[in-house]
Amino acid sequence: MSLGALRPSPLVEQATDHLREQITSGEWAVGTRLPGETTLAKALGVGRSTVREALRALAGAGLVQARQGSGVFVIADKPHEDWSARLRRAAVTDVYEVRVLVEVEAARLAARRRTEADVTALREALARRRDAGNAGDAEFVRADIALHETVVAAANNPVLTGLFAEFVPLLEQRLLDLVELLDLRSGDPHHGDESHAALVDAVVAGDAEAAARVLRDELEQTLALLRSRPGR
């Protein structure tokens, strides 16, 4: 077996790349038992600890699996797709449907858990959205999403906050496209102000069901617009 000796730079990354190539190229087919750590270390010109880390990286990518007492086996010839990459490829309507599920529950939790600091942040975010009504579409969309982020943050659940943050870059671009394509602000530069004010009021008042209802109605309206677009 000849894998090619490695250059003295980030050795774990290089070892991982070399071993991944053996798998994705078909040299090591699914079901193949990999050579032992000592053999791989000698072939790559590195220490066993480097090989071990490389194998962990490949396992994390879903390419190999260690089986107690049997060795390390190839279980797939393509790595798991990165979550962010999957989101970038997804149809915006699919992303938005998940957004509805996440945000509506977040709004319900926010109404129950919001702190005084959250109340202040919500009112400030609403004010910034209103100010952005006098600005361009890009700034308005950013302010709109920032208000939604503030509602999610008020749920005080770091997993929800992190999950929503994954959606933000894609949502920002797609919503900007929607605003520009449908000219949503031509008749009202503060498009959606009433519903967003009602959302903030419901969260501040601690009315969980009203907060969820207002936000669901608002998001469902936008989702309907997205579905009406050709090539959605």
Cα angle 116, 140, 113 (rounded to 5 degrees) comes to 20
Q: Is the pLDDT of residue 42 over 60?
A: yes
- pLDDT mean across residues, the chain: 89
Q: How far from each other are the two terminal CA atoms of the chain, in whole angstroms?
A: 49
- CB-based contact 113:105 (threshold 8 Å): no
pLDDT digits (tens, 9 = 90+) for 45-103: 999 999 999 999 898 888 999 998 889 999 998 887 667 677 777 777 888 888 899 99
CB burial of 14-43 (b: ≥16 within 10 Å; e: otherwise) equals: bbbebbbebbeeeebeeeeebbebeebbeb
Question: Is pLDDT above 80 for 140?
Answer: yes
Distance of alpha carbon 232 from alpha carbon 195, whole angstroms: 25
pLDDT in tens, 172-228: 888 888 888 778 888 899 999 999 999 999 999 999 999 999 999 999 988 888 788
Give the separation between CA 118 and CA 164, rounded to whole angstroms.
17
Percentage of the chain exceeding pLDDT 70: 93
With beta carbons less than 8 A apart as the criterion, state whether 77 and 24 touch: yes
Contact 154, 203 (CB under 8 A): yes
Q: Is 14 helix (H, G, I), strand (E, B) or coil?
A: helix
